[in-house]
């Protein structure tokens, strides 16, 4: 029965909750739904395509090209955050090496008028040192991709891509934020998962020719990627802070956090050339839209028609918007623990009986989001002795949400608020490496934080 060590927790849920319940309500209300996607909110953008170096977690530094709205090249390009029905102007300046030739940008799903620059096959292009202007008025909200339309086999691989988010002019009725002008797309938080990959051979060849007269001769087939990225970073860098000075050209991270009962909007973008099965542990997602097109029931357009998936198929150039929810429903046991002496808490007002036991009631508790039919049910198995286990860095030492337990020295520590952590990753598991070093690659963690833990 050594499944729990009384007295080794920092605080029981009831005590914590007593302290924080009021504050939690305020914090939740104050959080903005947009906070988790870092973007440039504007209708007019000045982008520059320029060279730089990106870091990969095995210690490598890779020559790359990227768009920036400032002075430092970045991968991916800035997330352009605009409003439907309003004209968008993007002026692109070419600061790439002359050997790279022209550069451009195309915007999926948009009717674009290009002015200035020089003629190219797909669109007007900016010659070295020159610029070009693109104008479009997005007609539908959604998630879109923009990328170079010039020599894309090379320039997209080099990093010239980014996400375009088109927001509805107002949230759908009944919520503070929605992906579309449709109540079924309301969300509490949103995160971007822009998936791409790097074949280092292409980048090395471009680097070697960057100072030459051009045009570059770079072989882009056969293609053998060695690094797999979410929002421009490979794990574990995906989980480092956004904007950290350690990764000056990779400002975006990917570390989704949410509370039980919230709705998390995923914007999944296939930005380069490979397909990825993006598997999200924890629960299914409901697909809202592909390429900015809402999938609605033919017989009742107030209802969704997209599938419910545990693995989102991400294909090159396509975007998927999906809603993820997590509650403790049907866990089968009390996620806050069942010991009335150390884990006393109430569900719909019912305490755990003094001697222990189940105090079931229907529905959720409004504050803790506990599924009350499981209230007071003990975790059904005895966990092994600590001496026979290997511990993950995100393990809090306790199976309970928001609770810390005892761990051997040197273990744990990555999850100080004791959330439930779920790996979100490419299920082409070969892509969970940085070159030949496991783990890494296209992977991050979702953290379900206890209701009293504030999320930025």
Partner 1 sequence: MTASIGRRWVFGVVALATAISAAIAQESSIRMQCPSATGTDIHPGANNPGIKCGHLVAGDGMVTMANDYTDGELGGKPLYVFGFALTDNFPPGGPAVNDPGYPGWIMTEGTLAANAPAPTIVVDEDDEVFLSLTNVGMAMRPDLFDPHSIHWHGFPHAASIFDGVPDSSISINMGASLSYYYYAKDAGTYMYHCHVEAAEHMQMGMVGNLYVRPRQNNLPNGPPLGATTHVTGNKYAFNDGDGTTRYDAEYPIQMGSFDPTFHDASFNVQPLPFAGMRDRYFLLNGRGYPDTVNPAVLTTTDPLGKVQPSQRVSSLIEAAPNKRILLRISNLNVTTFNTLGTNGIPMEVIGLDARLLRDGDGNNMYYKTNSLTLGGGQSADVILDTTGLTPGSIYFLYTTNLDRLANDAENFGGMMTEIRITN
132, 115 Cβ separation under 8 angstroms: yes
Contacts of 197 (CB under 8 A, 6+ apart): 225, 227, 228, 229, 272, 273, 274, 431, 442
- Of residues 174 and 213, the one with the C-beta less far from partner 1: 174
Taking the complex as a whole, the smallest distance from the CB of residue 427 to partner 1 amounts, in Å, to 3
Q: Collapsing DSSP states into helix, strand and coil, what is residue 319?
A: strand
Whole-number minimum distance, CB 216 to partner 1, in Å? 24
Comparison of 15 and 279: residue with beta carbon closer to partner 1: 279
CB of 379 to partner 1, least distance (A): 7
Instruction: Give the full edge-to-edge strand order of the sheet including 257-258.
Output: 257-258, 443-448, 420-426, 276-280, 311-314
Of 252, 272, 255, 222, residue with least CA distance to 431? 272
Nearer to partner 1, 17 or 403 (CB): 403
State the minimum distance, in angstroms, from the CB of residue 278 to partner 1: 9
Please write down the long-range contacts of 207-216, taking CB distance under 8 Å and 24 or more positions apart: 207/63, 209/99, 210/51, 210/63, 210/97, 210/99, 210/100, 211/97, 211/99, 212/99, 213/98, 213/99, 214/97, 214/98, 214/99, 214/100, 214/101, 215/99, 215/101, 216/99, 216/100, 216/101, 216/154
Rg of the chain over all Cα atoms, to the nearest angstrom? 24
* Between 367 and 378, CB nearer to partner 1: 378
Task: Pick the closer one to partner 1 by CB: 125 or 226.
Answer: 226
Task: Give the nearest distance from C-beta 432 to partner 1 in angstroms.
Answer: 5
| Site of tokens 């997602």 | 285
* Residue with smaller CB distance to partner 1, 311 or 350: 311
What's the maximum distance between 2 C-alpha atoms anywhere in the chain? 82
Best CA proximity match to 69, nearest among 271, 320, 252, 265: 252
- Cβ proximity to partner 1: between 19 and 438 the closer is 438
Q: What residues line the site for partner 1 (CB under 8 A)?
A: 184, 224-226, 275-277, 279, 281-284, 297-300, 303-305, 307-311, 313, 326-333, 335, 377, 379-385, 388-395, 399, 401, 420-423, 427-430, 432-433, 435-439, 445
Q: Return the half-sphere exposure (C-beta side, CA atoms, 13 A cut-off) of residue 409.
A: 0
Nearest distance, CB of residue 12 and partner 1, angstroms:
18
Say which DSSP state 207 is in.
Answer: H
Nearest-approach distance from CB 120 to partner 1, in angstroms = 32
Nearer to partner 1, 49 or 320 (CB): 320
CB of 332 to partner 1, least distance (A): 3
């Amino acid at each position: 029965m050594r499944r729990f060590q009384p007295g080794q927790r920092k605080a029981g849920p009831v005590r914590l909750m007593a302290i924080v319940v009021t504050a939690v309500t305020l914090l939740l209300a104050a959080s903005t739904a947009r906070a988790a996607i870092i973007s440039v909110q504007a209708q007019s953008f000045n982008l520059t395509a320029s060279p730089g170096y990106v870091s990969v977690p095995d210690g490598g530094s890779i020559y790359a090209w990227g768009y920036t709205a400032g002075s430092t090249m970045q991968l991916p390009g800035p997330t352009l955050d605009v409003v439907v029905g309003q004209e968008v102007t993007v002026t692109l300046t070419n600061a790439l090496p002359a050997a790279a030739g022209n550069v451009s940008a195309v915007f999926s799903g948009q009717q674009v008028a290009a002015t200035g620059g020089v003629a190219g096959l797909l669109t007007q292009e900016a010659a070295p040192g020159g610029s070009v202007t693109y104008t479009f008025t997005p007609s539908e909200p959604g998630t879109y991709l923009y990328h170079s339309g010039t020599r894309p086999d090379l320039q997209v691989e080099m990093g010239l891509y980014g996400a375009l988010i088109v927001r509805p002019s107002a949230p759908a009725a009944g919520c503070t934020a929605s992906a579309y002008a449709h109540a079924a797309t309301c969300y509490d938080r949103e995160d971007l998962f822009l998936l791409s990959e790097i074949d280092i051979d292409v980048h090395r060849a471009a680097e070697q020719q960057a100072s030459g007269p051009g045009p570059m001769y770079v072989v882009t087939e056969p293609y053998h990627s060695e690094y797999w990225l979410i929002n421009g970073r490979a794990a574990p860098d995906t989980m480092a802070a956004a904007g950290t000075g350690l990764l000056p050209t990779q400002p975006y991270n990917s570390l989704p956090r949410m509370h039980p009962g919230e709705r998390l909007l995923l914007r999944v973008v296939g930005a380069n050339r490979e397909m990825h099965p993006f598997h999200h542990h924890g629960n299914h997602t409901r697909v809202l839209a592909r390429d900015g097109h809402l999938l609605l029931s033919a017989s009742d357009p107030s209802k969704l028609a997209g599938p419910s998936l545990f693995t989102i198929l991400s294909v090159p150039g396509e975007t998927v918007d999906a809603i993820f929810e997590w509650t403790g429903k049907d866990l089968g046991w009390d996620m806050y623990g069942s010991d009335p002496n150390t884990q006393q808490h109430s569900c719909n007002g019912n305490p755990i009986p003094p001697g222990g036991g189940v105090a079931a009631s229907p529905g959720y508790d409004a504050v803790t989001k506990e599924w009350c039919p499981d209230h007071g049910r003990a975790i059904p198995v005895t966990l092994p002795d600590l001496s026979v286990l290997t511990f993950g860095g995100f393990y809090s030492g306790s199976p309970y949400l928001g609770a810390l337990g005892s761990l051997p020295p040197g273990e744990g520590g990555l999850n100080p608020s004791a959330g439930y952590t779920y790996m979100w990753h490419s299920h082409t598991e070969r892509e969970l490496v940085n070159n030949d070093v496991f783990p890494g690659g296209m992977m991050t963690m979702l953290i379900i934080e206890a209701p009293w833990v504030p999320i930025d």
